[in-house]
Amino acid sequence: MIGRLGELWQYTPVAFWLVLAACLYFVVMAVRLTVIDVRHHLLPNRIVFPSYAVAGFLLLAAAAAAAWGGSVQPAGDPNGNPVLPVVRVVAGAAILWLFYFVLRLVYPPGMGFGDVKLAGVLGMYLGYLSWGHLFAGTFMAFLLGGLWSLALLAARRGTLKSAIPFGPFMLAGAAAAMLLPA
């Protein structure tokens, strides 16, 4: 996402400011949710649900502004289709939400429904960038969560049945993917 900011500033300043606002909102949301999830194993609806509206508006408006500004390349469509970035924001939210929902259905003790709800918001951010970013952010979340679990097991601070808050790893994975180049 950071790499896109320079391109957007050059081609479509309106989209630049919208994406910058979305990034700043992401940071504030991520910090708040991480602190709450670590302390209480909870991702509150009062933060997650408004994030759909805020992130959705900012990212969809940025994609539309880049398309209407004559430069869809910085919005993430190398083929010049102005609709694709908008579709990826919506589809990214739906795909990631559905993926986490299936995980929740398969093994309910392993995934809280707060994680499922957060997945849709993260899917918007990652979908705005590309399908590769959506995959990378999801992969990084599970990689980081798995490494943390292994560290807890190695330090004998947890067992295979220990519950860990997964929201911070989802947020960290998305943030790491957002820093990847396009």
pLDDT level of residue 3 (50, 70, 90 thresholds): low
Residue ranges per domain, the chain? Answer: 2-178
Residue 74 pLDDT level (bands cut at 50, 70, 90): very low
Q: Are 168 and 142 in contact (CB under 8 A)?
A: no
pTM of the model: 0.91
Residue of 3, 56, 46 lying closest to 26 (CA atoms): 56
At 75, the pLDDT band (50, 70, 90 cuts) reads very low
Q: What is the mean pLDDT of the chain?
A: 90
Q: What is the pLDDT of residue 152?
A: 94
pLDDT tens sequence across 36-46: 999 999 999 99
Closest CA to 87 of 98, 75, 69, 97: 75
| Residue whose tokens read 């960290």 | 172
What's the rounded Cα separation, in Å, for the pair 18 and 11? 13
pLDDT of residue 28: 98
Q: What is the per-residue burial (b if ≥16 Cβ within 10 Å, else e) of 75-111? A: bbbeeeebebbbebbebbbebbbeebbebbeeeeeeb
Q: Is the pLDDT of residue 170 over 70?
A: yes
**Cα of 150 vs its chain's centroid, Å:** 24
pLDDT, tens digit (0-9, with 9 covering 90-100), for 109-160: 989 999 999 999 999 999 999 999 999 999 999 999 999 999 999 999 988 8
CA–CA gap between residue 35 and residue 44 (Å, rounded): 11
**What's the rounded Cα separation, in Å, for the pair 177 and 100?**
18
